Amino acid sequence: MEIPSVRPPAVIAVIGAGNMGSGIAQACAQSGFTVRVRDIDAPMLERGRGLIDKMLAGAIQRKKLTPARREEVLGRISFTTDLRAAVEGAALVIEAVFEDRAVKAKLLGELGPLVSPQAIVATNTSSLSVTELSRGFPHPERFAGLHFFFPAAINKLLEVIGGESTDSGVLDALEQFGYLTRKVPIRVADRAGFAVNRYFVPYLNEAARLAEEGVASLATIEEVGRELFGATLGPFELMNVTGIPIAAHSQESLHAAFGAAYAPSSRLEEQFRSGTPWAWKEMAVEPQRKTEVRERFLGLTIGIAARLVEEGVATPEATDRGATVGLRRAWGPFAQLSSIGIPEGLRLVEQYAKRWGDAFPISAELRRRAAAGESRWPMRYVRVEHRGPVAWVLLDRPEVLNSLNSDLLEQIERAFQGLESVPEVRAVVLAGSSPVFAAGADIAEMEHKSLAEGVEFGYIGQRAARRVEAFPGPVIALVEGYALGGGLELALAADFIVAAQGAQLGLPEVTVGIHPGMGGASRLTRLIGRAKTKWLVYTGIPVGAEEALRLGFVAQVYPAGAAREETQKLAETIASRAPLGVRWIKRVIDDGMDAPLSAALYLEGQSAGHTFGTRDRTEGMRAFLERRPPKFEGK
């Protein structure tokens, strides 16, 4: 199936100019897309235009945007009441009307004959079934869900939801669209609440339940919510800001899907009907009652998070990203579980579940890990994807620009170690899962390290880089976005670096009181010499991809939108060459760098001579004489 290019300046049609639609339009326009906003009448469009104007004016006030940039963004947005004109030629159509199944279904029926057969159509929904909505659309394979979080122009989280018939290429395109609009996309299954609202909305409901049962005052519950999750707002103020009706309606949807344990609190329903905000500020905090509130919140959150992962709704990593990026909490459910220990987490979940019995099922995986005495829930920060003979090793902490912490570095080491025993892999690309390589080592982890711990952290990084460098086959580092500090040090361990236009590369460690320790200074000196290395390290000033190419530590620069495709082609070209010849010459070049010329020449001659004893040499020369492509076996 042909997937349209959803890259700037492609046309994005946003249907609905309300709070969400206007925010989505602004986010797209700020990222370089051409945006058409459609609503039913001129007053609605004017309101949407006003919302965008207000958001941009606020950005100028906060010095996040210049007046010139504001005009540029507004110049990319047009407004119309004509549905046909709005969607004509659009690569992506985002339906962002009121969260009502009948309203959305009617609109999708109207859109069906108007959109291009190649266009992707997405519904912006926080609770409705994508599969059910797709049944009213003529091309369900091109239909998916996008859950933008309020305010859509600012909040970085984007849930990407596939229906039963959604093509995987459509989901890939929407994920890349998310990155291009500066979001952190997470893939979630089409289940009520998706990932984030599945545990977030019940947290709001539980706060009302605690008040209803007289467990603690509103002020106590509010303060525990802030402290426990490291959030700016507690549950009651959150509902006051975002709307108590939204919390009530969302909880009703979860109740319909999951049963009694998700029943809306009577207190929440009363507050909704009253039309008044929660008056938590008028009450006193009761410190002695905090423990029970804390344990209820943890038991609920960990219990639901573990279940949704077990059901395949989202990964643990995506679940935590939803909390830290979308809800702006300091920690996600699995990070909190690991901080208290899995056995203690299970105790709190079982304690919470007692009141509900079978209506609140406990994750079998949580029980298994607790029984095994595990303390931390394993989190995967490195993904390996096989694309023909090429393996992509992807750094996957997009919420922190792939900052390198100890876990990620150790997982890089294990990933390359594992690939050494996979003969089908003839080339490896090291890159970020998002269009960022790595913005550096994780300052949040390093900040509190002692001298001895700092030394050990450096050695963990060195071991990861050395494993990359010592990999027997060719390794290409693809740098998009940023490769700074430890990120560049890691990239320098590859056989060579290719970069996307606009990428920034540098070793700025001296700006935070340290200096490179993973081998970056040593490797860079061997590539570009002492003087240029010292300039980069002493100043800490990053350079662009083209300048890095000129200096000699980047081998090729590709257009930003095509960097991954071009890198895959390059890797496939290398993979098509004689595997033993490529591996052996890699060793000759690397070992010869530190040897006297006479020794390097001897090593090269010996290695080249040994290629004459391989089947690949026989096949290669025979194919040349027979004028056909060779079929190398690596033997």
pLDDT beyond 90 at 477: yes
The fold of the 577-625 domain, in CATH, is Lyase 2-enoyl-coa Hydratase; Chain  A, domain 2 (1.10.12)
The ranges assigned to domains in the chain are: 11-188, 196-371, 382-573, 577-625
Catalytic residue from among 480, 509, 546, 633: 509
The pLDDT of 625-631, averaged and rounded, is 91
The pLDDT of 587-601, averaged and rounded, is 90
The fold of the 382-573 domain, in CATH, is 2-enoyl-CoA Hydratase; Chain A, domain 1 (3.90.226)
Q: Is 617 helix (H, G, I), strand (E, B) or coil?
A: helix
Helix extents (H) in 118-233: 130-134, 168-180, 196-212, 218-229
Encode pLDDT of 99-153 as tens digits: 889 999 999 999 999 999 899 999 999 989 999 999 989 999 999 999 999 999 9
pLDDT beyond 90 at 176: yes
Cβ(264)–Cβ(254) below 8 Å = no
Of the candidates 572, 554, 560, 447, the one whose C-alpha atom is nearest the C-alpha of residue 502 is: 560
Compute the distance between CA of residue 152 and CA of residue 19 in angstroms, rounded to an integer.
8
Q: Which DSSP string corresponds to 384-437?
A: EEEETTEEEEEE--GGGTT-B-HHHHHHHHHHHHHHTT-TT--EEEEEESSS--
Strands 143-148 and 157-162: antiparallel
pLDDT score recorded for residue 284: 95
Residue 253's pLDDT band, with cuts at 50, 70 and 90, is very high
Residue 618's pLDDT band, with cuts at 50, 70 and 90, is confident
| Beta pairing partners, 121 | 93, 143
The fold of the 196-371 domain, in CATH, is N-(1-d-carboxylethyl)-l-norvaline Dehydrogenase; domain 2 (1.10.1040)
Residue 92's pLDDT band, with cuts at 50, 70 and 90, is very high
Exposed/middle/buried for residue 350 (C-beta within 10 Å: 0-12, 13-18, 19+): middle
Cβ(346)–Cβ(366) below 8 Å = yes
Give the lowest-confidence range in 92-96, 530-534, 602-606: 602-606
Q: What is the dihedral of CA 605, 607, 610, 611, to 10 degrees?
A: -100
Peptide bond into 9 cis (omega under 30): yes
Encode pLDDT of 494-550 as tens digits: 999 999 999 999 999 999 898 999 999 999 999 999 999 999 999 999 999 999 999
pLDDT beyond 90 at 570: yes
Tokens of 483: 């490769």
Residue 418's pLDDT band, with cuts at 50, 70 and 90, is very high
Peptide bond into 67 cis (omega under 30): no
pLDDT score recorded for residue 287: 96
pLDDT beyond 90 at 594: no
Question: Is 509 labeled as catalytic in the residue annotation?
Answer: yes
Tokens of 65: 């945007």
The pLDDT of 235-248, averaged and rounded, is 94
pLDDT beyond 90 at 469: yes
Phi-psi region of 88 (alpha: psi -120 to 50; beta: other; left: phi over 0): beta
pLDDT beyond 90 at 37: yes
Average pLDDT, the chain: 95
Q: Domain 11-188, CATH 3.40.50.720 — does that match?
A: yes
Helix, strand, coil percentages in the chain from 3-state DSSP, rounded to 5: 55, 15, 35
Residue 482's pLDDT band, with cuts at 50, 70 and 90, is very high
Percent of the chain with pLDDT over 90: 87
Q: Is 339 helix (H, G, I), strand (E, B) or coil?
A: helix
Give the lowest-confidence range in 84-93, 451-460, 489-498: 451-460
Catalytic residue from among 489, 546, 547, 604: 489
Tokens of 468: 């990359």
pLDDT score recorded for residue 386: 96
Cβ(468)–Cβ(412) below 8 Å = yes
Q: Is 283 helix (H, G, I), strand (E, B) or coil?
A: coil
Of the candidates 194, 274, 207, 283, the one whose C-alpha atom is nearest the C-alpha of residue 239 is: 207
Compute the distance between CA of residue 522 and CA of residue 507 in angstroms, rounded to an integer.
12
Give the lowest-confidence range in 163-167, 270-274, 611-615: 611-615
Residue 502: how many CB atoms within 10 A of its CB? 15
Residue 458's pLDDT band, with cuts at 50, 70 and 90, is confident
pLDDT score recorded for residue 535: 96
Contacts of 487-490 with C-beta under 8 Å, sequence gap 24+, read: 487/402, 487/404, 487/437, 487/438, 487/439, 487/440, 488/520, 489/461, 489/465, 489/516, 489/518, 489/519, 489/520, 489/523, 490/404, 490/412, 490/430, 490/438, 490/461, 490/464, 490/465, 490/518
Of the candidates 192, 214, 211, the one whose C-alpha atom is nearest the C-alpha of residue 201 is: 192
pLDDT score recorded for residue 145: 97
pLDDT beyond 90 at 446: no
Tokens of 29: 């326009």
Q: Is 184 helix (H, G, I), strand (E, B) or coil?
A: strand
User: DSSP letter at 441?
Assistant: B
The pLDDT of 449-469, averaged and rounded, is 91
Measure Cα distances from 376 to 299, 312, 489 in Å. 16, 20, 29
The pLDDT of 602-618, averaged and rounded, is 88
